[in-house]
Amino acid sequence: MSLIRELFNKGIIKEENIAALEFEMKKKGKKEEEFLLEKRIIKEEELFSLKSEILNIPIKAVEVDEVPLETLALIPEETAKYYQMIPLIKKDNYLEVGMTNPEDLKAQEALKFLARQNNFNYRVFLITLTTFNNLLGQYRDLKKEVGQALEELQTELETSLIGSSSQTIDEFARLAEEAPITKIVAVILRQAVDGNASDIHIEPTHDELRIRFRLLGQLHSSILLPLKIHPAVIARIKILANLRIDESRIPQDGRFSTVIGSKQIDFRVSTLPTTLGEKVAIRVLDPLIGMKSFKDLGFSGRNLRALQDAIKKPYGLILSTGPTGSGKSTTLYAILHLLNNDDVNIVSLEDPAEYFIDGVNQSQVMPSIGYDFAQGLRHVLRQDPNIIMVGEIRDNETAFLVIHAALTGHIVLSSLHTNNAIGVIPRMIDMGIEPYLIPSTLNIILAQRLVMQLCNVCKKEIIPKKETKEIIMKELATLPVEAKTEINLKEGFKIWQPTGCKKCNNTGFSGRIGIFEVLIMTPQLADIILKKQALESKVLKEAERQGMITIRQDGILKVLSGLTTIEEIIRVTKE
């Protein structure tokens, strides 16, 4: 069975692309399902529905909390992981087994062996890769992995000299490569990935070693470890990131990759000397996050149409703006993914490179040796690029070179730090850009923030309180006419609030989503700039004329759509 050929038969893949896809898949050593989903040729639900139709095996959707732990124990974790099959429910002496590849003969033989050994009958169902990976995470509850690692660590502490003043750097390096330190670090990394943490903070206090995870933008304490193992844990992370373990007086930066579950995850490491010892911050970089679609990011309505129109233009500047941690880089990566084709040369300058993209020439700037954005951009222009991404415009020189690149026929993506979209043009002029250059180069400005997204499983519909309703109606009153026609607001409208369930770890939220405002370069805006009248008040009037939805208004629309809460919008957009 070839899914690529089946997709060709259904008109989803062109005949001339088949050979190239099959060659790339073989080169990467990926299974068809994983490869097709990675290339975003088809959605997962559609792909597995097609597979179900081909194999004549029913597809089953299962939630994590529906599978009892005693049922999960019927197939060992390593077997489940290797053959991608997992027990679902036991009914009437039959075990329902979910498989991502039921056509795999080796997996079928393994299942038959387990059935004979454990004396059960079974029925096979097709499950998606997402369902399988979610269920696989349940094994860690069964094994109490964290508890076991900490118990082993305590035993090691009682029988070793960890933390003694006589230890050398070489001894810490040796300890860092042995259990249980390696296991402790592995548990920390896995917990972060499983919990969808964006960052890990490993920091010494006076009494203990504190591990904190950043979840949905907020830090939470997770694990407290004995302070005496601090040097060995830091040494283990430095070894993984290829940093100097004998240097603790200055900050260091590095990165490493590892497979967790079935995903290749990148970790970016930063060390910092403090008065209590070295602190480590680790950014968790899931490549799938960098491949989100515009709709997944939160673009909709006018904002989505404006962005789609902007990236179709043959040249010009696309600017993303907002404070640190507002998702600017993720938005730029999503645009890059859409523009990434074999017939264009894409070069990016980043500090640091967060997500690796096949087909994009990514270069990391190093200001410490004189290789900054400005220096890098001069060299990039000699690389015959079609599309250039500059991570951030930090100074006048970079701003000028970015404008020059857009003016000479390149698509340029970059980011800038301003509070909103209307502040970008005055900021560019302050950076020394001549006003007459801006209208002919700047295509669109995207300003954004991130808000927590409600869990679809447990969110609860409620009637808003009087004060809440007044806040919503006040924003809707100034909503552009075009946007008003796209919403169907009834008098007794409802909003949603979080409740909490196993799916979202009882937080009520699942991931984050962007709220945006999009300012388009129009003849009217160009006229304001050319007349050197680009004050924020003038730009704001033009933004209102062209129907720009403000960040707060976009947030209110997402509240009415059940994507987030009014409290989140007020928190993120307060002035």
Confidence of residue 27 (pLDDT cuts 50, 70, 90): confident
Q: Residues 209, 304: one domain?
A: no
Check whether 175 has a pLDDT greater than 60: no
411 plus 518 within the same structural domain:
yes
Q: How confident is the model at residue 165 (pLDDT cuts 50, 70, 90)?
A: very low
Q: Which is nearest to 390 in space by CA: 421, 359, 411? A: 411
How many whole angstroms separate alpha carbon 331 and alpha carbon 333?
Answer: 5
Distance CA 173, CA 170 (A): 5
Specify the CATH number for the domain of residue 240: 3.30.450.90
pLDDT of residue 142: 42
Q: How confident is the model at residue 143 (pLDDT cuts 50, 70, 90)?
A: very low
Residue 458 near residue 500, CB atoms below 8 Å: yes
- What is the model's pLDDT at position 347? 94
Contact 551, 516 (CB under 8 A): yes
Among the listed ranges 27-36, 274-283, 364-373, which one has the minimum average pLDDT value? Answer: 27-36
pLDDT of residue 497: 92
Task: Give 230-253 pLDDT, tens digit per residue.
Answer: 988 999 999 999 999 889 899 999
Of 170-184, 221-235, 262-276, least confident by mean pLDDT is 170-184
Residue 420 confidence (pLDDT): 92
- pLDDT class of 280 with cuts at 50, 70, 90: very high
Considering the domain architecture, whether residues 401 and 446 belong to the same structural domain is answered as: yes
Q: Looking at residue 160, what is its pLDDT?
A: 56
CB 445 within 8 A of CB 306: no
CA dist., res. 43 & res. 481, Å (int): 34
**In the block, which residue shows the tokens 């976009």?**
554
* Kind plus residue range of the DSSP H or E element containing 543: helix 536-545
| Residues in contact with 29: Cβ distance below 8 Å, sequence separation at least 6, in sequence order | none
User: Are residues 217 and 326 part of one domain?
Assistant: no
SS3 412: strand
Mean pLDDT on 455-472: 90
Q: Are strands 85-91 and 94-99 parallel, antiparallel or unpaired?
A: antiparallel
Q: Report the CATH number at residue 110.
A: 3.30.300.160
What pLDDT score does 145 carry? 56
Q: How many domains does the chain have?
A: 3
Query: Could you report the per-residue pLDDT of 65-80, keeping only the tens digit for each?
Result: 678 767 887 888 888 8
* Among 242, 257, 285, residue at a domain's last position: 285
pLDDT at position 68, please? 75
Q: Domain boundary residue among 121, 137, 153? A: 137
| pLDDT attached to residue 324 | 86
432 and 404 both lie in a single domain: yes
The mean per-residue pLDDT over the stretch 70-92 comes to 85
Q: Is 152 found in the same domain as 24?
A: no
CATH of the domain at 366: 3.40.50.300
What is the pLDDT at residue 270? 94
Last residue of a domain, one of 285, 301, 321: 285
Mean pLDDT, the chain, as a whole number? 86
Residue 474 has pLDDT above 80, yes or no: yes
- Mean pLDDT value across residues 72-97: 86
Q: Evaluate whether 119 touches 94 at the Cβ level (below 8 Å).
A: no
**What pLDDT does residue 406 have?**
94
Handedness of CA 284, 286, 287, 290 (dihedral sign): negative
As a whole number, mean pLDDT of residues 140-164 equals: 57
- Residue 451 and residue 323 share a domain: yes
CA distance between the termini of the chain = 57
- Looking at the fold, whether 255 and 349 belong to one and the same domain comes out as no
Other CB atoms within 10 Å distance of the CB of residue 265: 19
Q: Is 325 left (phi over 0), alpha (psi -120 to 50) or beta?
A: left
Question: Which DSSP string corresponds to 253-301?
Answer: EEEEEEEETTEEEEEEEEEEEETTEEEEEEEEE-TTGGG--HHHHT--H
Q: State pLDDT tens for residues 301-353.
A: 999 999 999 999 999 999 999 998 898 989 999 999 889 988 899 999 998 88
Residue where the block lists tokens 């039959």: 94
3-state class (DSSP) for residue 428: helix
CB atoms within 10 A of CB 477: 8
Q: Looking at residue 77, what is its pLDDT?
A: 81
* Six token digits for residue 196: 């969808």
Which residue range is the domain that position 428 belongs to? 289-573
Q: What is the pLDDT of residue 496?
A: 93
The answer on 331 and 265 residing in a single domain is: no
Nearest to 187 by CA among 224, 212, 240, 150: 150
pLDDT at position 356: 83
Q: Give the highest mean pLDDT range of 283-287, 432-436, 487-491.
A: 432-436
For the stretch 362-420, pLDDT in tens is 998 888 888 988 999 999 999 999 999 999 998 999 999 999 999 999 999 999 999 89
Same structural domain for residues 406 and 528? Answer: yes
Q: Are residues 405 and 530 in the same domain?
A: yes
Check whether residue 156 and residue 181 sit in a common domain: yes
Predicted TM-score of the model (pTM): 0.71
Contacts for 67 with CB less than 8 Å, ≥ 6 apart = 86, 87, 88, 89, 135, 138
Strand, helix or coil for residue 25: helix
Nearest to 566 by CA among 480, 479, 437, 451: 451
Query: Which pLDDT belongs to residue 311?
Result: 93
Q: Is the dihedral of CA 559, 565, 567, 570 positive or negative?
A: negative
| Residue 86: C-alpha distances to residues 75, 77, 138, 232, 372 (Å) | 7, 9, 11, 37, 50
Burial 288-297 (b: 16+ CB within 10 A, else e): ebbbbebeeb
Top mean-pLDDT range of 19-33, 126-140, 409-423: 409-423
Q: By C-alpha distance, which of 57, 88, 95 is closest to 72?
A: 88
The distance from CA 484 to its chain's CA centroid, rounded to whole angstroms, is 31
